[in-house]
Amino acid sequence: MSVSDRTRIDGPPGESKDKGARPDEEGAEAALHVTLPYEQARRPGDLPTVRRFRLSVVEGPGAGTVWESTADTCSVGSHPLNDFAVEDSTVSRFHCEVRIGPKGPQVKDLDSLNGVIVDGVQVVEGILRSGSLLRLGRVVLRFDFSAESNRLPLSELTRFGTLVGTSVAMRGCFAMMERASARDVTVLLEGETGTGKSQAALAIHQAGRRRDAAFLVVDCGAIPPHILESELFGHEKGSFTGAVSRRAGVFEEADGGTVFLDEIGELPPELQPKLLRVLENREIRRVGSNTYQPVDVRLIAATHRDLRAEVNAGRFRSDLFFRLAVLRIAMPSLRQRPEDLPLLVSGILESLGADPERTGALRTQEFLSRLRHAAWPGNVRELRNHLERCLVFEDALPLAEEDSRPEGSPLEVDLSRPYAEQRRRVVDDFERRYLRALLEKHQGKVAQAAVTAGMDRVHFYRLLRRHGIKP
């Protein structure tokens, strides 16, 4: 186990330290009218509101029940943890989510068994209008806007730990992170790769009462299952081949502090009840021991998956999800907050020690505008990697530069550039192409791809992250 998979960070905090159904323009416009576009809600003093909406059961069990929104989203399903719990066996535990976004009201199927049918059309993601009918199994819901609006809870902050952002999406997260820091609750951070989940976890720890104790990280996706149990809970001497001495797990080691479980969606089924026990009883049992011992830790978990869909598919225990999701924070993708780009770019350039005099090309409106229109599947990490490459060449490199060279074409040798720079560029280019092709071959299955590459999974994951590639 290498140090970076189990990172100890002690001490006080540093300061800076859609496949759509029928789109309905009237409905979308009406929602947007009161949902301040992100651009206009930049200033910390702004209080954006979002149009309130109602979901009424018009057919099936519970007909006549009406639910009214208090925020901009509503999850619907048969599990009590949903905003709107609809008890029926044909409704999945977490069936769908209705959200008022910048494009108006939308519904997203959470990989439910019976799907979501909007006005007669099955959708994965679909736009709604006032009066839309949503069929979830036997139950039919009607979506309607109310006359009133809900105020979105936004933080006054535009920075939390190392994370920055002035967008509504990011300040909404900061508001949740402030709440998470003020109390000792378990937090579930959700979001695509590179959206700042790890940094958010650290910032929550550093802003809370446990800040002077340890912050330990375990990446559940990068550690083989048989080692993971001992990593989390420790083991007794002789409990398995190779257990030459007694060892404490992270829950013991982080006593008084925080354990951050990254990629919790990869936690093997056999370990899920053991983690549940930690959350319910605050006690652990070392591998090979017969006795439980109490632990005093705060748990923060993160995942790039939608755990609700994992629960629906039976891969993740619903009771564990219930315990983990006491406070859920959805970290927005870069695509959802392009207005944060200038701030992110200047912050990243500064953190990389860029000399403003030699990096004028990376601060022009034209360059920023190109970045705003890029897809950024690897989010801020990918942005950072790109800026790092631009810094090496002191130039605003084209975005898909690494993909523009046709496969098999001869490598360009530029004798005006230093050897180390060019070598790195070629190696980076090779690594990205190799990883993408290998993942495609294995349909995104990291474990299989790592075997083919002859690499251990931890190293493979690290490479993927370095290049901002999502499995």
Ligand X SMILES: Nc1ncnc2c1ncn2[C@@H]1O[C@H](COP(=O)(O)OP(=O)(O)OP(=O)(O)O)[C@@H](O)[C@H]1O
Q: Decide: 332 and 196 in contact? Cβ < 8 Å.
A: no
Neighbours of 383 (CB within 10 A): 20
Residue 163 contacts ligand X per CB under 6 A: yes
Least separation in angstroms between CB 169 and ligand X: 10
Residue 320 contacts ligand X per CB under 6 A: no
Least separation in angstroms between CB 167 and ligand X: 9
| Tally of residues, the chain | 471
Q: Return all residues near 406 (Cβ < 8 A) that are at least 6 apart.
A: none
Q: Which stretch binds ligand X (CB under 6 A): 29-37, 65-73, 193-201, 289-297?
A: 193-201
Residue 150 contacts ligand X per CB under 6 A: no
Beta bridge partners of 261: 218, 301
Q: Decide: 316 and 307 in contact? Cβ < 8 Å.
A: yes
Burial class (CB in 10 A: 0-12, 13-18, 19+), 49: middle
DSSP class of residue 462 equals: H
Rank residues 257 and 468 by Cβ distance to ligand X and give the closer one.
468
Half-sphere exposure for 435 (CA within 13 Å, toward CB): 23
Q: What string marks each residue from 382 to 401 as x (binds ligand X by CB under 6 A) or -?
A: --x-----------------
Residue with the shortest CB distance to ligand X: 196
Q: Which stretch binds ligand X (CB under 6 A): 56-64, 72-80, 379-387, 411-419?
A: 379-387
Rank residues 180 and 284 by Cβ distance to ligand X and give the closer one.
180
Applying CB under 6 A, the site for ligand X has a residue count of 20
Rank residues 274 and 436 by Cβ distance to ligand X and give the closer one.
436
**Binding residue for ligand X (CB under 6 A) from 193, 318, 336, 385?**
193
Residue 130 contacts ligand X per CB under 6 A: no
**Binding residue for ligand X (CB under 6 A) from 101, 105, 196, 265?**
196
Q: Decide: 130 and 31 in contact? Cβ < 8 Å.
A: no
Distance CA 1, CA 8 (A): 13
Neighbours of 110 (CB within 10 A): 22
Site for ligand X in 429-468 (CB under 6 A): 465
Distance CA 88, CA 144 (A): 22
Least separation in angstroms between CB 37 and ligand X: 20
Task: Report the b/e string of 239-260 with b at 16+ CB within 10 A.
Answer: beeebeeebebbbbbbeebbbb
Rank residues 182 and 352 by Cβ distance to ligand X and give the closer one.
352
Least separation in angstroms between CB 49 and ligand X: 24
Rank residues 193 and 206 by Cβ distance to ligand X and give the closer one.
193
Please give the residue ranges that form the binding site for ligand X (CB under 6 A). Answer: 162-165, 191, 193-199, 262, 304, 344, 347, 380-381, 384, 465
